[in-house]
Amino acid sequence: MKLDDLLKHTSEWLKGTGPNSDIVISTRIRLARNLNKLPFPHWANKKQSGEALQAIEESFNKVDYLKKATVFKLAEINSIDKQLLVERHLMSFEHTQKTDYKAVAIEEEEIVAIMINEEDHMRIQVMQSGFNLFEAWNIINRIDECLAKELSIAYSSDWGYLTACPTNAGTAMRGSVMLHLPALVMTRSIDRVLAAISKLSFTTRGLYGEGTQATGNFFQISNQVSLGLSEDEIVNNINGLIRQIIEQEKQARELMLSRNKSLLEDRVYRSLGILKSARIITSQETTELLSMVRLGVDLEMVKDINRQTINELFIITQPAHLQKIENKKLSSNERDSKRAELIRSKLKI
């Protein structure tokens, strides 16, 4: 697989399928793992970092889920390609910095991605479309078990899996769910929901994870605590919380339809009208307008556009994707123009 092939492929998490996919965009589970007897990446010298990369890459050939994965050495790809991988949620922005002996392994369906030599030697993630927490856990658990047979993993009987950041110790698991919550935002209920979440040892981030703000009514909710809990307990805790939030969003949507349907329709169709006619549009405005149109699609107000098309537009209108599609660097103004053109073509106007 080449990086350019990603542009021809719909990421698993963007397919708009799976349970509760009208509210839940995607489900992700991530495991942090380190190799025994080698310093964590931030303390390793070049030789040690190279040894970690080589050992991990060689182990992939013995794991069924990873035999067809492609390993991209970050020092060998340009800045736009790195940003493309960030935009597709295949690696973190932090992983794009100081790229010597860093890599990312990507399985061809983009369900599995493994960052090598980020904060930990391995950051293994599995992404699923919709609310598929248990399926994501089943997949990543099997991958983890296979890798543990091939690699000596740093583990303590007292602290569990040893990680670069102490907050990740224990199971070293982070489960996160990306939710689209426009009704809770529009009914001004979201602050109450987020306050309750924070009291339960969960954290809320934006579309691109740590350090990003919630835009376009997207909220990524994940557990903060992994020490002292089993993997099953973490998964069950996340599952219970997200089900409550899904129910609250559904109730908020029903309330809006019963009290302000015409106002809601107006906002949906105004957003769609701008997207269909704009000649210049920023990334932030695009996200906000697409959010309203997606709500219209989910409520069957808009019937000639499917959810997958809207989901894909959230990603392919991002800066690196636009530049990859055009096969050249674009200025900010050029991106705004190309973004509008791409949206009009996708919406067939």
Express each pLDDT in 216-237 by its tens digit. Answer: 799 999 998 888 889 999 999 9
Q: Are residue 303 and residue 165 in the same domain, yes or no?
A: no
Q: How far is residue 210 from each of residues 70, 195, 224, 325, measured CA to CA in Å? A: 26, 18, 12, 27
Which pLDDT value is given to residue 214? Answer: 59
Which pLDDT value is given to residue 64? Answer: 87
Which of these three, 161, 177, 193, is where a domain ends? 177
Q: Are residue 76 and residue 170 in the same domain, yes or no?
A: yes
Q: Are residue 36 and residue 138 in the same domain, yes or no?
A: yes
Residue 58 structure tokens: 């060689």
Residue 270 structure tokens: 């105004």
Q: Are residue 11 and residue 112 in the same domain, yes or no?
A: yes
Q: Is residue 245 part of a domain?
A: no
Distance CA 25, CA 22 (A): 7
Helix (H, G, I), strand (E, B) or coil at 2: coil
Q: Evaluate whether 47 touches 171 at the Cβ level (below 8 Å).
A: no
pLDDT > 70 in the chain, percent: 97
Which pLDDT value is given to residue 144? Answer: 96
Pairing of strands 103-106, 70-73: antiparallel
Q: Evaluate whether 267 touches 292 at the Cβ level (below 8 Å).
A: yes
Q: Is residue 98 part of a domain?
A: yes
Q: Are residue 36 and residue 145 in the same domain, yes or no?
A: yes
Q: Is residue 301 part of a domain?
A: yes
- On whether the pTM is more than 0.75, the answer is yes
Q: Is residue 70 part of a domain?
A: yes
Residue 10 structure tokens: 């719909």
- Mark the ranges of the chain whose per-residue pLDDT is less than 50: 211-212
Distance CA 133, CA 145 (A): 18
DSSP 8-state assignment for residue 11: -
Q: How many domains does the chain have?
A: 2
Distance CA 342, CA 293 (A): 16
Q: Is residue 29 part of a domain?
A: yes
Partnered with residue 177 across adjacent β-strands are 27, 221
Q: Are residue 8 and residue 139 in the same domain, yes or no?
A: yes
DSSP 8-state assignment for residue 169: -
Full residue range of the structural domain in which residue 46 is found = 3-177
Which of these three, 177, 210, 231, is where a domain ends? 177
Q: How far is residue 22 from each of residues 124, 219, 307, 310, measured CA to CA in Å? A: 27, 14, 8, 12
Q: Are residue 268 and residue 162 in the same domain, yes or no?
A: no
Which pLDDT value is given to residue 349? Answer: 54
Q: Is residue 247 part of a domain?
A: no
How is the beta sheet containing 122-129 ordered, strand by strand? 70-73, 103-106, 112-116, 122-129, 24-33, 173-180, 218-223, 202-205
Q: Is residue 290 part of a domain?
A: yes
Which pLDDT value is given to residue 224? Answer: 85
Q: Is residue 209 part of a domain?
A: no
> For residue range 66-124, what is the model confidence (pLDDT) as tens digits?
988 999 999 999 999 999 999 999 999 999 998 899 999 999 889 999 999 999 999 99
Which pLDDT value is given to residue 213? Answer: 54
Which of these three, 177, 212, 240, is where a domain ends? 177
Which pLDDT value is given to residue 207? Answer: 66
Which pLDDT value is given to residue 201? Answer: 81
